[in-house]
Amino acid sequence: GGLLKAEDASILNNIIIYLTLPAMIFEKVLVSTISLNLWRVPVTALVVMSVCLVVAFLVGKGIALKAKTLGAFLLAAAIGNTGYLGYPISLEIYGSQHFIKALFYDIFGTVIFIFTVGLYIAEVYGEEGAKINRLKEILTFPPLIALVAGILLRGFPLPPFLVRAIEHLGAATIPLIMLSIGLSLRLGEVGRYKLPLTLACLLKLILSPLVAYFVGGAILAADVFSLGVCVLEASMPTVILSLIFGLRYKLDTAFLSATILITTLISMVTIPTGQYLLRMAMRG
């Protein structure tokens, strides 16, 4: 029984994606400072994911994973939950004024990467699913529309009641996300995948933030807050959207749900540890 079942996660996700998350993004972008250096953040994101993908490919081939598991392994090791989980955590650690950096990492980094490279991987290693129009998926992604709208409408006086309404709507996002993640996590067949699961965790939770630290150090030119947000976003667990692709293209979804669950649980230790080490490194 219980009030909420796993099936309810998809309804919740629709409310988040189409309603509360765009509201939150729009409202945060209206008040944030946008500099020309912001493009360095998604560039860092794309390089980090590409490096992790190449390493994951070599590792996956090395342990001779079957095609469907290899496809799932690549998605799991390279692409992080930079929106659903990255937003609330970066707001908590870096505050509203740097939230735009997390947005740029996620929307112009992760989302673009998922709908291009991620889809390509699913098509190559999965079974032929319904053809997906990549450009349409990206351009009609509500959080992206909200981001662009927020950038365009900055500086225009909006009626205060409207801004307040949008704020209240946006405020529901993070509790709903937490609920949705809880409903989406399935304690499935964790035991069957000891080796690939362990390796996916190492790549996603350890290698990815390390790569972000060095790549970001090179690209972001001593902007400590951008580097902090990039390392934080790179340390996110496996993106839940990978499971949607897995289902659509018949990848190894049991492996994907296991990896999403385990990386999410372990990240509760690795994320704060990583941020602590980053502070130490920046001081030193």
pLDDT truncated to tens, each residue of the chain (284 aa)? Answer: 566 666 677 788 888 889 999 999 999 888 787 888 899 999 999 999 999 999 999 999 999 999 999 999 999 999 999 998 999 999 999 998 899 999 999 999 999 999 899 989 998 998 876 677 878 888 888 888 999 999 899 888 899 999 999 999 998 988 888 787 777 666 666 778 899 999 999 999 999 999 999 999 999 977 899 999 999 999 999 998 888 788 888 899 889 988 998 999 999 999 999 999 999 998 87
How buried is residue 216: exposed, middle or buried, by Cβ count under 10 Å (0-12/13-18/19+)? buried
Q: What is the pLDDT of residue 188?
A: 63
Q: What is the pLDDT of residue 32?
A: 81
Establish if 141 belongs to a structural domain: yes
**DSSP state letters, 127-187:** -------HHHHHHT-HHHHHHHHHHHHTTS---HHHHHHHHHHHHTHHHHHHHHHHHH---
pLDDT (tens digit, 9 = 90+) per residue, 267-284? 999 999 999 999 999 887
Establish if 239 belongs to a structural domain: yes
Rounded to whole angstroms, the Cα distance separating 99 from 34 reads 11
Token pair 């004024």 is found at 97
Establish if 2 belongs to a structural domain: no
Q: What is the pLDDT of residue 220?
A: 92
3-class secondary structure, 238: strand
Rounded to whole angstroms, the Cα distance separating 216 from 210 reads 10
Establish if 3 belongs to a structural domain: no
Tally of domains in the chain: 1
* Six token digits for residue 253: 């979804």
3-class secondary structure, 204: helix
* Domain at 22, CATH number: 1.20.1530.20
Establish if 1 belongs to a structural domain: no
Q: What is the pLDDT of residue 113?
A: 96
DSSP structure class, residue 203? I
3-class secondary structure, 110: helix
Rounded to whole angstroms, the Cα distance separating 128 from 123 reads 6
Rounded to whole angstroms, the Cα distance separating 268 from 235 reads 10
Establish if 62 belongs to a structural domain: yes
Q: Which residues pair with 140 in a beta bridge?
A: none
Please give the single-letter amino acid code of residue 36.
L
Query: Domain residues for 228?
Result: 8-283
Please give the single-letter amino acid code of residue 252.
D
**DSSP state letters, 5-36:** -TTHHHHHHHHIIIIIHHHHHHHHHHTS---G
Rounded to whole angstroms, the Cα distance separating 271 from 94 reads 14
Q: Which residues pair with 267 in a beta bridge?
A: none
Establish if 231 belongs to a structural domain: yes
Q: What is the pLDDT of residue 49?
A: 98
For residues 52 and 203, the answer to whether their CB atoms sit within 8 Å is: yes
Task: Please tell me the pTM assigned to this model.
Answer: 0.89
Rounded to whole angstroms, the Cα distance separating 5 from 93 reads 31
Return the closest-CA partner of residue 26 out of 149, 152, 139, 156.
Answer: 149
For residues 204 and 237, the answer to whether their CB atoms sit within 8 Å is: yes
Please give the single-letter amino acid code of residue 57.
F
Q: What is the pLDDT of residue 200?
A: 98
pLDDT (tens digit, 9 = 90+) per residue, 188-217? 667 788 999 999 999 999 999 999 999 999
For residues 279 and 225, the answer to whether their CB atoms sit within 8 Å is: no
Q: What is the pLDDT of residue 274?
A: 96
Establish if 167 belongs to a structural domain: yes
